[in-house]
Chains A and B, each alone.
Chain A
Amino acid sequence: MDAFASHYTYWVTVFLMAAGLYIMIARGNLVKKLVGLGIFQTSVYLLYIAPGKLIGGTAPIVAEAYKVYSNPLPHVLILTAIVVGIATLALGLAIVVRIREAYGSIEEDDILALDAEPGKRA
């Protein structure tokens, strides 16, 4: 039970990861898929940042009074990953807007059906 409780950040990470992946696979709505993608990527932020935190640790300051500090590198890495995540989400939404303009729908099933029809006529 202790092992379970002391690693709770990992359980949260795994849950978010699985939930995000499930949404991406199970939902046909293109925007909902992107929501899933966002949740999936967020789980990775947690995976990196949580282990970098030490209880009672401070920011990495070189001074006599501070002995224990949290590792700053994961924060920096995840700042980069967040920027990448925002860019991906923005691009994904932009493509969905264009898809809606071209097809008049953002449901995957409708779009696939729309594409199948002209092929049959030709």
Chain B
Amino acid sequence: MLEHLPALQVVVPLAAAPLIVLLRRPRVAWLLASAAALFAFVAALVLAAEVASTGAISYHLGSWPPPWGIEYRVDALSAFVLVLVAGVGAVVMPYAWRSIPAELPRDQHYLFYALQCLCLAGLLGMTITGDAFNVFVFMEVASLSMYVLIALGRDRRALLAAYQYLILGTIGATFYVIGVGLLYLLTGTLNIADLAQRLPELAGSRPALAALAFITVGVSLKLALFPLHLWLPNAYAYAPSVVTAFLAATATKVSVYVLLRFYFGVFGARQVVESLPVTGILIGLSVVAIVTASLVALWQADFKRLLAYSSVAQIGYITLGIGIANESGLTATVLHLFNHGVTKGALFLLVGGIALRAGGAGFEQLRGLGRAMPLTSLGITLAGLSLIGVPGTAGFISKWYLVLGALQAGQWWLAALVVATSLIAVAYVWRFVEAAYLSAPDERSAPAGEAPRVMLIASWLAVGACFWFGIDTAYTVEGARRAALFMLGGLP
């Protein structure tokens, strides 16, 4: 049983989905989906512990040895991402218990849970697989379920957001397959480890460069790197609350992981960092993403949309670490992937509570919220501190390493930029504080009290995690550093 854990990690949520569709009853569906999510989380933790003690695990599906068969590979980097994805997947389930009945008609509940399981399975599969084409298959499993999950939103604009995401997401995935196809034509293999061995002798050949370009653009569309982020704000703003929280915390992060895997696991740091202007382009786009998206976030009239734009900016910090490309920079990337996932997850979960009680998260509905929903408001303020990067919170740790990486690379202006743009985050978090605590409540749209208890518990678990990983950094920093060393070739 234990030796098949890498396969079960993906198979259990995948198999839960059709079962849920067959059983249909909302409670049974919730129970099954929660059990699958919890199993995935425990499996991820066990795998991560095993990797930390005995090194990378290679699992051969159907006992076909790689490079012929599909290999599942759990190493320092993928174990870290697995824990994040499965953890968020497990935390949102109790939240969905109250949030989904409030947002969806009863006969659609089972569909939501089935899609949630599929999405989780797809994201976990993208992370764990060691086969480049298998990544595409899981990417599409995750994406197709995401499009539907977004389209479940109550607002009709959710449909258009889902459609736009479908078009752009499919272009992204297709670009990725084109890149993988070119690599396959060059090397005759699809196994990522095998590709890494065969590519160096072909480095610099035109098809290899074209493959790198296609994969970069395709995956950047999926991870919403500026200027390919246009699908993200609407998708996040109009999707059901649970979906937004889950997607914001995991979907773009797994795409960052795929990019890291290809840059450092396939093409190799030497080619990507040293002989091509990839890092320069990434730094440039990241800087523009951070500055413009933060500024745009500042002017949003809706808090959920504000957070969506803030996500685009935070993804900029993540890709900035890849651009800096030294040990601290990559540590910052992996750390921020995790810490921002937790922080944004917490924020979107809490905003879901507001949307439920006040009927929306526009700034006029937030007025006087500190009195009507004290726990929710406090949670948002505290998670907002982590978004800014105040010392003692998770956000601080990742920005610290980012600044450190920039200074080590001799790019002091990037360090200054990270600090300066955090001030914009102060401004947009302050907009919430001002509305919630310093404005008189609006009589007409006063919320009907605090969010349901299970939703609060799930949200506060995530808020607690923002501080836990800001103070006790043993797990995250150590995991991220191992992942960074692994990428730079220092660890086997």
A interface vs B, CB < 8 Å? Answer: 17, 21, 24, 30, 33-34, 37, 40-41, 44, 47-48, 51, 74, 77, 80-81, 84, 87-88, 91-92, 95-96, 98-99, 102-103, 111, 115
Q: How far is the CB of B238 from chain A (nearest CB, A)?
A: 11
Contact with A along B170-190 (1 / 0, CB 8 A): 110010011001001100001
B interface vs A, CB < 8 Å? Answer: 133, 136-137, 140, 144, 147-148, 151, 156-157, 159-160, 162-163, 166-167, 170-171, 174, 177-178, 181, 184-185, 190
* B160 contacts A115, C-beta separation under 8 Å: yes
24 intermolecular pairs with C-beta atoms under 8 Å apart: A24-B167, A33-B167, A41-B170, A41-B174, A44-B174, A44-B178, A48-B181, A74-B184, A77-B133, A77-B190, A84-B137, A87-B140, A88-B166, A88-B170, A91-B144, A91-B147, A91-B166, A92-B163, A92-B166, A95-B147, A95-B159, A95-B162, A99-B159, A115-B160
Given A24-B171, A103-B156, A84-B181 contact (CB < 8 Å): no
Given A95-B151, A98-B151, A37-B170 contact (CB < 8 Å): yes
The 8 lowest CB-CB distance pairs between A and B, nearest first, are: A102-B156, A84-B140, A99-B159, A95-B163, A48-B181, A47-B181, A98-B159, A92-B166
Contact of B185 among A40, A51, A80, A87 (CB under 8 A): A51
- 4 extra A-B contacts, CB within 8 A, seeds A48-B181, A84-B140, A98-B159: A24-B171, A37-B171, A95-B159, A115-B160
Query: A51: which B residues are within 8 A, CB to CB?
Result: 185
Given A87-B144, A88-B144, A111-B160 contact (CB < 8 Å): yes
CA distance A115 to B156 in the complex (A): 9
Contact of B140 among A17, A33, A88, A92 (CB under 8 A): A88
Query: A37: which B residues are within 8 A, CB to CB?
Result: 167, 170-171
Query: B156: which A residues are within 8 A, CB to CB?
Result: 99, 102-103
* A95 contacts B167, C-beta separation under 8 Å: no
Query: A34: which B residues are within 8 A, CB to CB?
Result: 167
Q: How far is the CB of B239 from chain A (nearest CB, A)?
A: 13
Query: A91: which B residues are within 8 A, CB to CB?
Result: 144, 147-148, 166
CA distance A80 to B133 in the complex (A): 10
Query: A24: which B residues are within 8 A, CB to CB?
Result: 167, 171
Nearest-CB residue, chain A, relative to B301: A119
* B157 contacts A115, C-beta separation under 8 Å: yes
CA distance A5 to B366 in the complex (A): 66
Query: A21: which B residues are within 8 A, CB to CB?
Result: 171
CA distance A4 to B305 in the complex (A): 50
CA distance A21 to B171 in the complex (A): 8
Query: A111: which B residues are within 8 A, CB to CB?
Result: 160
Nearest-CB residue, chain A, relative to B134: A80
Main secondary structure of the interface of A (DSSP, over half): helix
Query: B170: which A residues are within 8 A, CB to CB?
Result: 37, 41, 88
CA distance A102 to B163 in the complex (A): 13
CA distance A112 to B156 in the complex (A): 12
Of the candidates B140, B170, B184, the one having the most CB atoms from chain A within 10 angstroms of its own CB is B170
CA distance A61 to B178 in the complex (A): 29
Contact of B159 among A17, A81, A102 (CB under 8 A): A102
Q: How far is the CB of A11 from chain B (nearest CB, A)?
A: 15
Given A87-B144, A91-B148, A95-B147, A44-B181 contact (CB < 8 Å): yes
CA distance A81 to B147 in the complex (A): 18
Q: How far is the CB of B291 from chain A (nearest CB, A)?
A: 26
Query: B140: which A residues are within 8 A, CB to CB?
Result: 84, 87-88
CA distance A99 to B167 in the complex (A): 15
Query: B181: which A residues are within 8 A, CB to CB?
Result: 44, 47-48
Q: How far is the CB of B362 from chain A (nearest CB, A)?
A: 9
Of the candidates B156, B174, B184, B190, the one having the most CB atoms from chain A within 10 angstroms of its own CB is B174
Q: How far is the CB of A76 from chain B (nearest CB, A)?
A: 10
Q: How far is the CB of B124 from chain A (nearest CB, A)?
A: 18
Q: How far is the CB of B126 from chain A (nearest CB, A)?
A: 14
Query: B163: which A residues are within 8 A, CB to CB?
Result: 30, 92, 95-96, 99
Query: A84: which B residues are within 8 A, CB to CB?
Result: 136-137, 140
CA distance A21 to B214 in the complex (A): 14
Of the candidates A34, A44, A95, the one having the most CB atoms from chain B within 10 angstroms of its own CB is A95
CA distance A115 to B148 in the complex (A): 21
CA distance A34 to B133 in the complex (A): 24
CA distance A34 to B171 in the complex (A): 11
Query: B137: which A residues are within 8 A, CB to CB?
Result: 80, 84
CA distance A44 to B17 in the complex (A): 30
Nearest-CB residue, chain A, relative to B178: A44
Q: How far is the CB of B472 from chain A (nearest CB, A)?
A: 42
CA distance A77 to B131 in the complex (A): 12
Query: A44: which B residues are within 8 A, CB to CB?
Result: 174, 177-178, 181
CA distance A46 to B131 in the complex (A): 21
CA distance A107 to B320 in the complex (A): 38
Q: How far is the CB of B68 from chain A (nearest CB, A)?
A: 10
CA distance A91 to B177 in the complex (A): 20
